[in-house]
Amino acid sequence: VGQGDSILVQLPAGKTMLVDAGDTDAGDTVVSALRSRGVASIDAAVASHAHADHIGGYATVLSQFPVAHFFDSGYPSTSLTYERLLTTIDEKNIRFSTPTAGQTIDLDPAVRIDVLSPDGTTSTEIHDSMLVLRVSYGSVSFLLAGDMAEDLEARIASSLRPTTVLKVGHHGSHSSTSTAFLNAIRPEVAIISVGAGNSYGHPTSQALGRLQAVGAKVYRTDREGTVTVSTDGNTYAVTTE
């Protein structure tokens, strides 16, 4: 989805969770990707936060797929993109929740989806109020960090533990993926969702260096396209587009 995020989680029992949907111009790409993977409906749609490069594509997705439940960080935004999304959710009568740290999203008894953030703390910074999820299946786990920055990484430190796969925070920004955070989770695989030639300089040399220092194998969507991780809960395999 270029300079944005969109993650499809297909669970063993057949349910699906979509975490973010890229920017507005990525909507058709996400719809096509879902259909190519046999998705007919979405059990859980998640907005990590209300920035357009994470929620813009949802307008197209919600027009094409039935969605059972929408999960949002609950951080208010006055952007037209976010207001339209909330209107669509309301018009389609989609169940809407704003989970907080300590809760779980229950879709499949074999898979645990923990909410690590937000924790109910009032913040003036949207990136400090992210909806951050940890998905665990057997001994394999995934941390979906959205655009999480260092402040939030430190705030959720007590809930961090070793994680197999990290969706790197904020497209590899210098202010995310701190050394302390990486030392706590020790990811084997790090996936950076990032647009080729983006104007932000993502991923930064600082973030890449820190990932290299903990021994993570880095995959970048600007170079390798869609990245797929398949697992049976014991072993996993990574394939790229």
Quickly list H helices, the chain.
27-36, 52-55, 58-64, 80-91, 150-155, 179-185, 205-213, 221-224
Banded pLDDT at 217 (limits 50, 70, 90): very high
User: With pLDDT > 90 as the criterion, what percentage of the chain qualifies?
Assistant: 93
Rounded to whole angstroms, the Cα distance separating 223 from 225 reads 6
95-97 vs 69-72, strand pairing mode: parallel
Collapse the DSSP code of 3 into the 3-class scheme (helix H, G, I; strand E, B; otherwise coil) and give the result.
coil
User: Is 52 exposed, middle or buried, given 0-12, 13-18 or 19+ CB atoms closer than 10 A?
Assistant: middle
Kindly state the average pLDDT of the residues 231-238.
98
Kindly state the average pLDDT of the residues 64-87.
94
DSSP 127: G
Residue labelled with tokens 């995959």: 219
Q: What is the pTM of this model?
A: 0.96
Tens digit of each residue's pLDDT (9 = 90 or more) over 82-139: 999 999 999 999 999 999 999 999 999 999 999 999 987 777 778 778 999 999 999 9
Tens digit of each residue's pLDDT (9 = 90 or more) over 158-181: 999 999 999 999 999 999 999 999
Give the residue with greater pLDDT, 129 vs 1: 1
